[in-house]
Every structure is written in C-alpha cells, then in structure tokens.
Amino acid sequence: MKSCTEYLWFNTKKHREYVNITSEIEKILDKSGIKEGMILVSAMHITAAVYVNDAESGLIQDIDQWLEQLAPFNPDYRHHRTGESNGDSHLKSLLMHHEVVIPVTDGKLDFGPWQQVYYAEFDGQRRKRVVVKVMGE
C-alpha cells in the first residue's frame, strides 16, 4: 500500500467561513498516483470542520443558520472563563465533525453527483491547516 500526505493552509477573511476544497483534494489525489483506496481529509484545529455536501449557496446559508441555532455565540460559556471567547466555535466543530474519509475508485473521488468537500471555519482570521492523506494502490 502507498500513501501520500499533504497539508492545506487557510487564513479565512471571516470569523465563520465555508470553503469548497474539492479541487485541491483532487489535485493531491492526482499527484499521489493512487488509483484505488481512500483519502482522509481532517481539520487539525478544534474550531474547524471538514464535511461533504452539496455546493449550493442556499444550503451553505442553511447550514450556517442551523449551527448558530444549535450552538449560538454566548458570552456565558464556561470555556470563556479560561480567557477564550470561542466556545460556540468548539461546539459547531463538534456538530460538523473534523474529518471525512472519501473512497477513491479508478483514480477519482468516488462521489455522488452533487457531493463536494468543504472546510468549515468557525474561529477564523488566523492561520490553520488540514491534513490530506491518500492511501491505497
């Protein structure tokens, strides 16, 4: 089995932002030369997430609104007693999860017709990274 590891770096302009990273993942897969296997995409920060869904702006707005309803900004989070102010960002990350595993078939991401890979930032405006690990033959 072969493997290839690369990192994507982000420094979003907004506090919360959703970035379609599908083309970057496809480039890493192509570079790896792996035709059959899987690819792990994992946010390396506890206030970010990686997810797979439709690349439709209305849906992205719905996801953002849903997350804000479930984990709203609140100055009274116990986490803020440590001097932080991003308790809601940690909770949003937990809801979306930090990683995805995508099957690779015949050298391509084996997706349904609308699926795309997204990096979701919940405490942005600083440098963060995602690890991409391709494994297979």
Domain ranges of the chain: 2-136
Of 51, 32, 39, 33, nearest to 95 (Cα)? Answer: 51
Please state the pTM of the whole predicted model. Answer: 0.95
Strands (DSSP E) found in 17-121:
17-20, 37-43, 48-54, 99-105, 108-109, 115-121
> 126 to each of 11, 14, 48, how far by Cα in Å?
5, 10, 12
CA atoms of 12 and 17, how far apart (whole Å): 7
Regarding the domain with residue range 2-136, which homologous superfamily does it belong to in the CATH classification?
Answer: YjbQ-like (2.60.120.460)
Per-residue model confidence as pLDDT tens for the chain (137 residues): 999 999 999 999 999 999 999 999 999 999 999 999 999 999 999 999 999 999 999 999 999 999 999 999 998 999 999 999 999 999 999 999 999 999 999 999 999 999 999 999 999 999 999 999 999 99
> What single-letter DSSP state applies at residue 44?
S
